[in-house]
Amino acid sequence: MSYFLTFLHSQLFVTPTYPTSDFSNQVLIVTGSNTGLGFEAVKHLLRLNAAKVILAVRTVSKGEAAVQKIVATTKCSPSRLDVWPLDLSKYDSVKQFGARVHTMDRLDGLIQNAGILTSNWETCETHESHITVNVISAALLGLEVLPKLRESAKKTGLRGRLSFVGSDLQYIAKFKEKETNGRIFDALDAKEGADMSDRYNVSKLLLLYYVRILAEMAPLGPESNIIIDNTTPGACKSDIFRDEVGWFKRMVMNVGISMLARTTEVGSRTLVHAIKPDLEPQAHGAFLMDCKIAKYVIKLSH
Ligand SMILES: NC(=O)c1ccc[n+]([C@@H]2O[C@H](COP(=O)([O-])OP(=O)(O)OC[C@H]3O[C@@H](n4cnc5c(N)ncnc54)[C@H](OP(=O)(O)O)[C@@H]3O)[C@@H](O)[C@H]2O)c1
What pLDDT is stored for residue 295 in this prediction?
77
Specify the 3-state DSSP secondary structure of 230.
Answer: strand
- Relative to the CA of 166, which ligand 1 atom is closest? 7
d(CA 36, ligand 1 centre) in Å: 7
* Portion of the chain with pLDDT greater than 70, in percent: 98
- Asked, for residue 108, whether it belongs to a domain, the answer is yes
Domain membership flag for residue 94? yes
The count of structural domains within the chain is 1
Domain assignment of residue 300, yes or no: no
Predicted TM-score (pTM) of the model is 0.97
**Residue range 218-255, pLDDT digits in tens:** 999 999 999 999 999 999 999 898 887 888 888 888 88
Inside any domain, residue 27 = yes
- Our answer to whether residue 209 is catalytic in this structure is no
Residue 63 CB–ligand 1 contact under 6 Å? no
Q: How much is the average pLDDT of 61-65?
A: 98
Which residues span the domain enclosing 16? 3-293
Query: In sequence order, what are the beta bridge partners of 81?
Result: 53
Tell me the mean pLDDT in the region 278-296: 95
Q: Residue 301 falls within a domain, yes or no?
A: no
Q: Is the CB of 235 under 6 A from ligand 1?
A: yes
Is 164 inside any structural domain? yes
Does the C-beta of 239 come closer than 6 Å to ligand 1? Answer: yes
- In tens, the pLDDT along 133-162 reads 999 999 999 999 999 999 999 999 999 999
Position 13 in a domain? yes
We report the CATH number of the domain holding residue 175 as 3.40.50.720
Q: With bands split at pLDDT 50, 70 and 90, how would you rate the model's confidence at 299?
A: low
56-85 residues labelled b (16+ CB within 10 A) or e (exposed): bbbeeebbeebbeebeeeeebeeebbebbe
CA distance linking residue 39 with residue 59, whole number of Å? 14
Is 91 known to be catalytic? no
261 near 10, Cβ under 8 Å? no
User: Going by CA atoms, what residue is nearest to atom 46 of ligand 1?
Assistant: 115
Domain membership of residue 299 (yes or no) is no
